[in-house]
């Protein structure tokens, strides 16, 4: 599992022990607020050697439907 998944699970178990009606979605929200407790690994930049792919404008294909409007 990832560090984030482990941390959310930990928060869920802690809160579920206090309140049996506690839901996992609430654990996600709470873990998001408490992510500083997770450590510096979550806020680190991308690993060296891995680069992000740049997104550029894609060429849109022209769709021609029906009959051509060009007169012969």
- The structural domains of the chain, with segments of one domain joined by +, span 3-34
What's the residue count for the chain? 72
pLDDT digits (tens, 9 = 90+) for 41-70: 444 444 444 555 666 666 666 666 666 667
pLDDT digits (tens, 9 = 90+) for 2-47: 999 999 999 999 999 999 999 999 999 999 999 998 875 444 444 4
Q: Which of 33, 31, 22, 45 is nearest to 3 (CA)?
A: 31
Its pTM stands at 0.52
Torsion of CA 26, 27, 32, 37, to 10 degrees: 150
């Amino acid at each position: 599992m990832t560090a984030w998944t482990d941390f959310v699970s930990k928060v869920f178990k802690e809160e579920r022990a206090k309140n049996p009606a506690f839901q996992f979605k609430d654990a996600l929200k709470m873990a998001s607020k408490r992510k500083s407790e997770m450590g510096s690994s979550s806020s680190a930049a991308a690993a060296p050697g891995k680069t992000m792919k740049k997104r550029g404008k894609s060429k849109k294909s022209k769709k021609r439907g029906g009959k051509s409007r060009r007169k012969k």
